Amino acid sequence: MAKLIGGIGTSHVPAIGAAVDHGKQGEEYWKDFFTGIEPVKEWIKEAKPDVCIIVYNDHASAYSLENISTFAIGVADEFEPADEGYGPRDVPIVKGHSEFAWHIAESLIFSEFDMTISNNMPVDHGLTVPLSVAYDQPSEWPCRVIPIAVNVIQYPAPTANRCYELGKALRMAIDSYDSDIKVAVFGTGGMSHQLQGERAGLINRDFDERFLDDLVSDPAALTKMSHTEYIREAGAEGIEMVMWLVMRGAMDVDVDEKYRFYHVPVSNTAYGLTILENCES
């Protein structure tokens, strides 16, 4: 059976991708950041997941306002890096795992999560930046990827609780897949940031640190927060943090936090990274 070996939370700021692509890691602005994310590269090199399920949001790349899916799963064999307006990022094609993805889609739907199923899904920075954070610049990504896209752009995003419950259903899907593969789940986006309006640049370190604490020991507290509270405290775009709860929902109740890193700023955003493992019984 497939085995969930860990959960990673990471912001997916596009500037990180640009810094990697243009070799800026050593620059003053970026030095501390890239030093801080080094442990996740080491963790993943050691853990070697066969499949990474990456929960992220599309930013007007694969999806537009024409059709808005609250939860979508990518079931294709391949996902092209999207052109977000600069031309596509020069990163390897993302290889999917179609059979496993279909298993997850069916399992989630029978768990009453009515997923959108996507075969055509160019993936933008929301998905490729977390891969760069974990794997740097390989000639091919060393894992298969199953994208799960969450709408957090059109209000209302799914509730924090719904995301957490989706994570639990995702875990059932992983545990019931009849193949001895290792799986990691990524929750991406956040942390506090506001890109739009006169309040642009908002950062709330206290909120973020509390979120990272509760993510480990009291995720239920995070599921009770309303959208308005997330927006007010973590910024309009900080609502992305609900996607970390999908990852957390997939993990056991008791987790070990293997690593945490928090850094301000990355562009207009507070960056957060966490590595969680299930407590061995």
Binding interface with another protein (CB under 8 A) = 14-15, 59-61, 64-66, 82-87, 153-156, 192, 194-205, 207, 226-228, 231-233, 236-237, 264-265, 267-268, 270
- Indicate if 12 belongs to the active site: no
For residues 70 and 93, is the Cβ–Cβ distance under 8 A? no
Q: Which is nearer to another protein, 49 or 189 (CB)?
A: 189
Q: Which is nearer to another protein, 7 or 190 (CB)?
A: 190
Structure letter (DSSP) for residue 122 = -
- C-alpha–C-alpha distance, residues 107 and 170, integer Å: 8
For residues 244 and 215, is the Cβ–Cβ distance under 8 A? yes
- C-alpha–C-alpha distance, residues 29 and 267, integer Å: 10
Rg (CA), the chain: 17
Q: Which is nearer to another protein, 41 or 59 (CB)?
A: 59
Using DSSP's 3-state secondary structure scheme, residue 158 falls into coil
Interstrand relation of 71-74 and 255-266 (parallel, antiparallel or unpaired): unpaired
**What are the residues facing 239 on neighbouring strands?**
none
Q: Which is nearer to another protein, 107 or 204 (CB)?
A: 204
Q: For the CB of residue 152, give the shortest distance to another protein in the complex, in Å.
A: 10
Catalytic, out of 12, 97, 103, 125: 125
For residues 67 and 109, is the Cβ–Cβ distance under 8 A? no
Q: For the CB of residue 98, give the shortest distance to another protein in the complex, in Å.
A: 26
Catalytic, out of 12, 97, 103, 193: 193
Closest CA to 115 of 148, 145, 80, 160: 148
Interstrand relation of 51-56 and 182-188 (parallel, antiparallel or unpaired): parallel
- Indicate if 22 belongs to the active site: no
Q: Which is nearer to another protein, 177 or 207 (CB)?
A: 207
Q: For the CB of residue 84, give the shortest distance to another protein in the complex, in Å.
A: 7
Q: For the CB of residue 199, give the shortest distance to another protein in the complex, in Å.
A: 3
Q: For the CB of residue 276, give the shortest distance to another protein in the complex, in Å.
A: 26
State the catalytic residues.
125, 193
